[in-house]
Structure 1
Amino acid sequence: MKLDTSTQVSLKIILPLLASIMALSPLAIDMYLPAMPILAEDLNTDMPMIQNSLSIYLLGFALGLIIFGPMADNSSRRKMVLFGISGFLIASLLLPFVTNIEQFLLLRFIQAFISSAATVVVPRTIREYYQKDTAKGLSYVSMIMMLAPMIAPSIGSILLVAHSWQLIFYVLVFYSAIVILLVMRYLPDVSRTQVNKENQVNFLGRYKIVFSNNEARLDIISSMMVSLAFFAYITAIPFVYLTVYQVSEFSFSILFGMNVFGLMLAHFINTRLVVRKGSRKMLWYGLILSIITSAGLFFVNLTGMPLSYTVLSIIPLMGSISMVAVNADALVLTKFPEQSGTATAVIGTLRFGIGAMAGPILAFYYDGSALPFAGLMFFSVLLVLICQLINWLNGKANMLPKDE
């Protein structure tokens, strides 16, 4: 499959554009977090119901990936993106007018479900540009996209003070409208006539191809477990910093930003080294660091050490698990050049699905401390290590001479 040469554009334009598409969900998730208490009051409901809107969003996104992933393998890239962002825009426009929690949850589900049609085509586009260096392209896009979760809570707080929670969703409308205009102008398309008909497979057949690859299956599980660790962080870090260590809201923003900076730095390092070292080696580098730092985080909280030790553990931990995730995803995508949309759907669905479990797991083991959070992070990374050791052992076994 080749890009339409009449619409090829510079990577200096296409990478930020792809990052802006990927940023839709982080912005939709993080910008309204400061408004949760006010939302609960305005919609006459309690905080757990408002917090459930995050799980509803993740569920909608995961289900959307299941549907739109295989479609992305044979459909027009630009049309998929425009459909997804347009649906996101309409849902965002309606959200300020809701009068009860049921309407809010329904629109959040729709917002996430339709927007997944846009994000599912991004990894395929990156793979087409970077081929065997897909991890480098994914790291570039992720590094740029990380600006969204870094600044989103602060933007949400400013908008809340300036006007109301409704303004947050109007800003999302404005943002998605700008992205639509940029997509129409700059996003290269793939003509449907360019799709190799010999490689076309039915909907379920595409999923069978992806799941039947043993090596890819272990990398997909690794990506899932990293996501469990990441969403454990997203779910627990406000409680850890604001309640357990009782830092101020301003200090929380600084600490949150430092952790996002760690993520961005890890992606930058990956872009510099992955071409020479390869995705598998970079995955192992990240995994070794994440084992050390997650064990350190668990020990720090087990022994009740001060906040500074937790901060010094989390920053490299978040960077290292992001390095594991981006290289695991790249290894999966490069195995399925004709089913990359489906592979993206599998990764995304399982990732967001298991991510939604982080909250219930942390709630079950809640003891008023940060220890359950640290334990879940450490346990998730250990499972990644087990998967990669099995992959390594299988590779060694395949290299042994076979009996004639």
Structure 2
Amino acid sequence: MLLAAVVATTPLAIDMYLPAMPMMATELATSIGLVQQSLSIFLAAYGIGMLLFGPLADMLGRRPLAVFGLTGFILASIALSLASSIEWFLAWRAVQALAGAAASVVVPGIIRHLYQQHTAKGMSYVSMIMMLAPLVAPAMGSGIIWLASWQAIFLFLACYGMLVVGFCWRFLPEIRSDSDMQRPAFFSGYIKVFRHKAAWPDIASSMFASFAFFCFLTAVSFVYIGYFGVSEQIFALLFGFNVLSLMSANLLNSRLVVRFGPQRMLRFGLIVALGCAGLLSVFNFLGLGLWYTVFTVAPLMASLGLMATNADAMIIMQFPDNSGTATAVIGTLRFGSGALAGPLLAWFYTGDALPFSVLMLGGVLAIGVSQLWRQFGHQGLSAARD
């Protein structure tokens, strides 16, 4: 639960202030477009932070970096509540993302140490608990601005960070390994990760799963509210339904992955995703109603979560002494591919729900290609050994 609470700083920081964007644009005397730009800046800075702090987690240790990152997150959140201009808001938003990356990059390495060959099970548990954050964050943000103001959202994030850093100071373990006396240099970890060709297909699978997920996240408000015309309250329920689907998938994975292994669970998720993404594209091509999309997206999102969790676990298990660096690579590619979703959706905009459906299908097909690459690559290695 503590590891999930650390990781949850990011979805809370992303989702809690979304309902306050129109109010912020008015009070900061700027356009809604610039306020929305703060989300892109956060994602970009978070990806950069993963690159920077991933190797440092391997070099300096995970507990000190988590405490440092959470402390920076607290200070940046307080500064955001005091921002009086959009320029200062955007600057502190980037600092908040960098600090959040420093805290969350340590988590997969600790999970790998605690769960060893059952890393996928541990990551499923953490993901399942962490999913509570995006489930409740928009409603919490709405409640806070109803009672107070948008500044109170960032004060709440600062208080949350104080609570988590206190528990981390007391309970978060430091990971010690036999290689502690010879900690890797900053760039050597990246060289080791990128030279390990066996991990490339799983890295690609994680990246394309994230791309499909961010296609949904970027388009969901337009699709449900703008295209299908649901109210904000119904939108919150539909969004929560998808988050519950993700949580259910992680619960299922935590129960079955020890028996079947992460590779078979990933392939199961891929089969479900291919069917759901294909149906979603057909339904929206034919212009069918809201509920066709709702009940197709939910299992699709669940299968994306299933694939991403198991792909990440298989990657981390291959780098016991460079788990921070491997996490940085995963995170940077994940958020980098996610950042492509917005421009591509804008490029293919048609005023209906078809573009996001087709782009999600493209992401799932790319995962399928990556897994074929993995299978043929392993067969080639086996043949070479024979």
Q: TM-score range by the shorter chain?
A: over 0.9
1:130 aligns with 2:112: no
Aligned residues between the structures: 386
> 2:50: which partner in 1?
65
Conserved 8 A contact 1:199-1:338: no
- The one-character-per-residue Cα deviations of 1:171-199 (angstroms, maximum 9, x if unpaired) are 101111110111111111235xx552575
Q: Deviations over 1:318-349 (max 9, x none)?
A: 00000000000011001110111100000001
- In 2, distance between residues paired with 1:401 and 1:116? 40
The verdict on how the C-alpha distance between 1:402 and 1:78 changes in structure 2, with shifts beyond 3 A counting, is closer
Q: Does 1:395 align with 2:384?
A: no
Q: Normalised by the size of structure 1, how large is the TM-score? A: 0.93
The code of the aligned residue for 2:214 comes to F
Once the two structures are superposed, what CA deviation does each residue of 1:40-70 show, in whole Å capped at 9, x if it has no partner?
1111211221111111001111111111100
Paired residue type of 1:314: V
- Whether 1:35 and 2:20 are equivalent positions in the alignment is yes
Q: For residue 190 of structure 2, what is the aligned residue in structure 1? A: 207
The amino acid that maps onto 2:373 is I
Residues 1:295 and 2:278 are matched in the alignment: yes
Please state if 1:168 is matched with 2:168. no
Gaps of 5+ in 1: 1-15
Partner residue in 2 for 1:18 = 3
Partners of 1:44 and 1:326 lie apart in 2 by 41
Aligned partner letter, 1:379: G
Instruction: List alignment gaps of at least 5 residues for structure 2.
Output: none
Query: Would you say 1:93 and 2:78 are equivalent positions?
Result: yes
Q: Equivalent residue for 1:250?
A: 233
- Contact 1:74 / 1:195 at 8 angstroms: preserved in 2? no
How much has 1:76 moved relative to structure 2?
A: 2.8
Q: Is the 8 A contact 1:126 1:134 kept in 2?
A: yes
Q: Give per-residue Cα distances to partners, 1:63-113, cap 9 Å, x unaligned.
A: 111111001112232211110000000000011211211111100000001
TM-aligned CA deviation for residue 360 of structure 1: 1.0
- Which runs of structure 2 are paired with 1:371-390 in the superposition (5 Å)? 371-390=354-373
- Are the counterparts in 2 of residues 69 and 344 from structure 1 also a CA contact under 8 Å? yes
RMSD: 1.2
**Post-superposition shift, 1:399?**
2.6
Distance in 1, matches of 2:384 and 2:114, equals 37
1:262 alignment partner in structure 2:
245
- Whether 1:224 aligns to 2:207 is yes
1:234: Cα distance to partner? 1.0
The alignment's TM-score, normalised by the length of structure 2, stands at 0.98
Where 1:400 maps in the other structure, the secondary structure is helix
Name the structure 2 match of 1:306: 289
Alignment partner, residue 60 of structure 2: 75
Change (3 A) 1:401 1:203: closer
Give the AA of the match of 2:122.
G
Question: Are 1:54 and 2:36 matched, yes or no?
Answer: no
Report SS of the residue matched to 1:368: coil
Residue identity over aligned pairs, in percent, reads 47
Task: Give secondary structure in 2 for the equivalent of 1:74.
Answer: helix
Residue of 77, 93, 101 corresponding to 1:116: 101
Q: Out of 136, 139, 164, which is 1:154 matched to?
A: 139
Alpha-carbon contact 1:88-1:115 (below 8 Å) kept? yes
